[in-house]
Amino acid sequence: MAQQPELPKDWLDFMQKMWNPMSFPMPGMALPTVNVAEVERKIRQYEDDKIIPSGPFKGKKIEFAPTTGIDMFLAIAEDFMRRIFDFEPGEYLITDESSLFDFTGLDEMEITDIHKKILAVYDLDVSEIQSGNLLEIFMRIHRRK
pLDDT in tens, 88-130: 998 989 999 999 999 988 778 899 999 999 999 999 999 999 9
CA dihedral 109, 113, 118, 123 (to 10 degrees): -160
Q: Is 139 exposed, middle or buried (0-12, 13-18, 19+ CB in 10 A)?
A: middle
Q: Is the pLDDT of residue 31 over 90?
A: no
The reply to whether 13 falls in a domain is no
Angle at 120 between CA 116 and CA 123, to 5 degrees: 110
Looking at the structure of the chain, the number of domains it has is 1
CA nearest neighbour of 138 among 82, 67, 69: 69
Q: For residue 6, is it within any domain?
A: no
100: in domain: yes
User: Would you say residue 138 lies in a domain?
Assistant: yes
Residue 37 maps to a domain:
yes
Within a domain: 9: no
Q: Which amino acid is at 73?
A: F
- Give the domain extent around 75: 27-144
State the pLDDT at residue 29: 47
